[in-house]
Structures are given as structure tokens and as C-alpha cells.
Amino acid sequence: MRPTMRSILSALAFVGAAWACGSQHAAAAPKGFLETIHRHMMLASTSPGNGDLNPYAVFLVPQDMGVLHKDEVMVTNFNNITNLQGTGTTLVVYSPATKTSRLFASVPPNLAACPGGIGFTTALTILKSGWVIVGSTPSKDGTTGTKGDGCVLVFDANGTFTEAWKGPLITGPWGDIASIDNGDSAVLFISMAAAGLPAPDVRDPVTHYPPILHNATVLRMNLRIPSGQPPVLEKQTVVASGFAGRADRDNFLFGPTGLALDTDGTLYVTDGYDEEVTAIDNAVNRTDPVTRQNDAVGRVITKGGLLNWPLAMIWVPGHHLLVANGRNGQVVEIDPDAKKQIYAQWVDSDQAQQPPGNGDLFGLAMTPDNKGFYYVEDDMNTLNLSAP
């Protein structure tokens, strides 16, 4: 879509939306964060010199470190220049000061330390100690038919690859990294979504669709961070197991993607295939995993309605959650305490996809002033901003 048309459509984007359970409840809904968002603008390309495509993760640099500056925005790329999924090898940084993007780090596509190679996903975090941690769920041909288990990679603040964590519990690091960062220690939560997934052309003999495997997990990683040294992975614990995973030719896979940790230790998870947001209680300390019961993993917070393949998820003012839809260009605001969907808003109205924005949205990150949010558009390979 041409920028002029995009700006026209963005100007017409609606802010309010009815609940899934009926428009009669919408008028009684409390004021939400999305009600304050009125502008959507493109900031910069996320495609670096090697031509990598398909931006996924979005994360703010917490402070000056190495070549990184506070409040810069880091983005991962999942595809290479030929647009094959699971082959992107670059991390790109956008500077609000210069309004330009630059390459931060890259690794060889067949990096031996990572089973199957490199395909950077939505799993990304930057620790206060200056270490960048990113997940890889790789493929050779752009499908799950040739996927590897992948790994979790560690870079220093200058973009130098340091090490890779791998093992039997690391089976396709896929979704947002939720974390507790204490400086000399950290706790990370990462979803693992690719275990055992076949090629997308494999069909279930009953449904005639790709088989659904209920074995996707959320892994807790406890790190020790010695002064001036790379993080040490001391312990791995599966805190939730049984999320739906399914291969998909257009979207690579469906699996748990959005992770948001509350101050009381509750971890919220978006389950894309099942169109729901669930809660994992005591995720920080639990020693046994929550398993699938009654077709859900954990407590169901909200399901269906405005959710349309929910992906990345972040906290917004009002103790609400903001979720990016994968099947349209909307973000959805949720009140987790009331277990209600509040609003949806179009942030990508590109009618080249049907429905508009289908397959374009992935990562989200709040702006430093907590008044807007960054997001990426896959069809344009850009970093974008939504603001008051």
C-alpha cells in the first residue's frame, strides 16, 4: 500500500470496539489505553544490508551499553533475502535521535553452535548487565519440514556473538521473553513451540489439516551474571506444557507467543491457535508445570472475540495487556483482572492482505514515556510507532 493511502486509512482507524459478548457492554467499558492512540507512523526500514526480511521482535535498550544507547529499539529478522522463514540472521537497531536504523549483529546462517542454524524469532531481551539474548528457530527451506531445535544466543553490547544455549528443553524458542532482571541474576521465560512439528504438507487423516500437537511449552531460565562475564544458565524449568502447536506454510507455525509477567509472579501467555490468553500462577517459583486441562493450559483470561491469532503481548497503562493479532492488522486491549477485552484498533490497514494487515504484525514494545508503542509491519519490513 502506498504511504498516502496508508495515512488515509490510519486516520480512519477506529479506536473503540464492542466486546465479543455483545455491543451492549461496550458503553460500560472503562477508559482504556487504546482510546488515547490516534496516530500511526512508519519510522524506518528494518531490512539491513544483507536484505533480511520479516521483522519479528521489538525491544527497547534499557540504558547506554557498548554501541547501544538508551531508548533505541532493537528488532530481529526471521527471513533472509529470499524470504524463506527461519533463515534471518540479523539484529537491527533504530535510533530515535537520528531517525535511522543500523545493523547491530549478525551470525552465519549455519552457525554450528545452534542446532539447525539461525532464524531469529520474537524471543528477544536486553539485560541491564549489557547482554543481548535472542531465540533462534531455524529452517533450511522456510518450512517446519527442515526446522532445527534452535538455540538461545547471547551477544555482548557491541554485537559480538558469545555463546549459545541448547538442549532437550530448548525446542524452538519462539515467543516474547518475559524477564526479571536483578543485574547480577535474571529469570527469563521463553515459549518453545516447534517440538516434533512435521512439514506443513503433512495432513491428519481425520481432519485433513496439519496435525495439532499439544506439546508446546514455556521454559523458565535462571541466570547468574558474573561481573564482566557472560550470563551463566544455571537452571531450566518447564512451567507450562501442552499449548497447541501446528505447522503452517504461510506463518511457519502456530504456537504460544506473547508472554507478560505480572508483579505477583503470574505469567500471561497468548495461545495463538486456540485464540486465547491464559494465566500461569506462581510462574517465578513453581517447580512443576501447569499442564493442559479442559482444553487450556492455565487459567483462561479471555478467548475468541476480538482475538485473531494473538501473538506478542505487552503491559500498557491501567494494568491492561495489549496483544497483536496475527490474522489482521489490529491490536487488542485486555483487562486481565476483569477477564475482559476492552478495545481493538487497526494499526495496519493494508488492504493488500485479506483481512487488512493479515500476517503483518508481530512484536510490540512501549515507548519510554509509556504513552505509545512500537510495532513492526512484515509486509513493509518497517518499524512503526503508534502514539497519541
CATH number of 45-330: 2.120.10
The whole-model pTM stands at: 0.92
Q: Note the pLDDT tens digit of each residue in 157-166.
A: 999 999 999 9
Q: Note the pLDDT tens digit of each residue in 31-80.
A: 799 999 999 999 999 999 999 999 999 999 999 999 999 999 999 999 99
Q: Which three-class secondary structure state does DSSP give residue 331?
A: strand
Q: What is the distance between the alpha carbons of residues 48 and 326, in angstroms, rounded to a whole number? A: 24
Left, alpha or beta for 265 (phi > 0: left; psi -120 to 50: alpha)?
Answer: left
Q: Note the pLDDT tens digit of each residue in 300-326.
A: 999 999 999 999 999 999 999 999 999
Inter-CA distances, 330 with 255, 283, 368, Å: 19, 29, 22
Q: Note the pLDDT tens digit of each residue in 208-261.
A: 999 999 999 999 999 999 999 999 999 999 999 999 999 999 999 999 999 999
Q: What is the distance between the alpha carbons of residues 261 and 241, in angstroms, rounded to a whole number? A: 17
Q: For residue 168, what is its C-alpha cell?
A: 532437550
